Amino acid sequence: MSIQTQATRSTPLTEEQLQSYEKNGYIVIPQGCSNDLIDAFNSHIHTIRSNDPIPQWAAPHAGAESKEITEKQRFSLRLFNPHLHDGFSLQVLKLPIVRGALAQILGDEAVGVQSMYFYKDPGTPGQAAHQDYHYIRNNPNTLTAAWVAMEYTNEENGCLYVIPGTHKLGLLPHGKVKNLAEHEAWTEETENIDLSQEIAVILNKGDILIFDSLLIHSSTRNRSERWRRSYVCHYIRHDSTIDREDLKKKISLH
């Protein structure tokens, strides 16, 4: 009896979508992930953070004991690289539709290098405008993100904003965050850019936003009573190399 694998790679993007990606630096795949899978994954992550004790890899603060973690922290602070420890998170990183789309965009097979599950509960600040390549250097630069909406995401609960076409500007200088009322202080932001050019990316539950590592993007504070959960994974083409030691492990999408 043979074992089934994801050997056959799909080609989900049309030529028009590929041209749009080339021009704008991003593309949205509507309902790229089913609602049933989204619900199961959200429930799975909630169960992990509900455990006592929370597994060390899933703890809101590295090295923290469960007794030191508040209920708010359990369900607000992100899980970093869950795919390295959790089978369900690994399989969502390896979504066949993402694998196929990345191969079309990059011209060859991609591999996973990072995953993050964001809660973004009500009141949580966003991240100032930036380019992912500033944080994750790779050579040659093929870094690409797939941002899976775990629920409806709009301006009220802190959606992503992008400046179309900025992926063609190259890496720009980044400096200290200026608007601390809106954005997290621990990040950095792209300098000397016209934020009036930003547009909101409204996503329905299950939509997948794929974007270039040089695309300038940001998010705003969650001003709603809803969460804005998302699963964000980063990929590179299989022949690229990552500079950061903590992201050197390449995950096959087969």
Query: What 3 state SS string does 63-97 have?
Result: CCCHHHCCHHHHCCCCEECHHHCCHHHHHHHCCHH
What Cα–Cα distance (Å) separates residue 60 from each residue in 63, 86, 95, 232, 245? 9, 16, 26, 17, 21
| Residue of 184, 231, 198, 224 whose CA lies nearest to 80 | 231
pLDDT of residue 137: 98
Q: Is 37 helix (H, G, I), strand (E, B) or coil?
A: helix
pLDDT tens per residue, range 95-105 = 999 999 999 99
Length of the chain: 254
pLDDT of residue 163: 98
Q: E strands within 107-243?
A: 110-118, 138-139, 144-149, 160-162, 174-176, 188-190, 199-201, 208-212, 217-219, 230-237, 241-242
What Cα–Cα distance (Å) separates residue 12 from each residue in 3, 16, 68, 96? 24, 12, 45, 9
pLDDT of residue 61: 77
Compute how many other C-beta atoms are within 10 angstroms of the C-beta atom of residue 179. Answer: 13
- pLDDT at residue 5 greater than cutoff 70: no
pLDDT tens per residue, range 19-45 = 999 999 999 999 999 999 999 999 999
* Average pLDDT rounded to a whole number, residues 127-155: 98
Q: Is the pTM of this model over 0.85?
A: yes
pLDDT of residue 3: 47
> At which residue do the structure tokens 């940001």 appear?
218
CA dihedral 234, 227, 122, 190 (to 10 degrees): 20
pLDDT of residue 62: 65
Compute how many other C-beta atoms are within 10 angstroms of the C-beta atom of residue 243. Answer: 10
DSSP-H helix ranges across the chain: 15-24, 35-50, 71-74, 87-93, 96-106
pLDDT of residue 67: 64
pLDDT of residue 1: 42
Q: Which domains does the chain have, with CATH numbers?
A: 15-36+78-252 (2.60.120.620)
- Using 50, 70 and 90 to split pLDDT, how confident is the model at 2? very low
pLDDT tens per residue, range 150-173 = 999 999 999 999 999 999 999 999
State the Cα–Cα distance between residues 250 and 71, nearest whole angstrom: 34
pLDDT tens per residue, range 43-77 = 999 999 999 889 999 998 765 665 678 888 899 88
**What phi and psi, each to the nearest 5 degrees, are found at residue 246?**
-80, -5
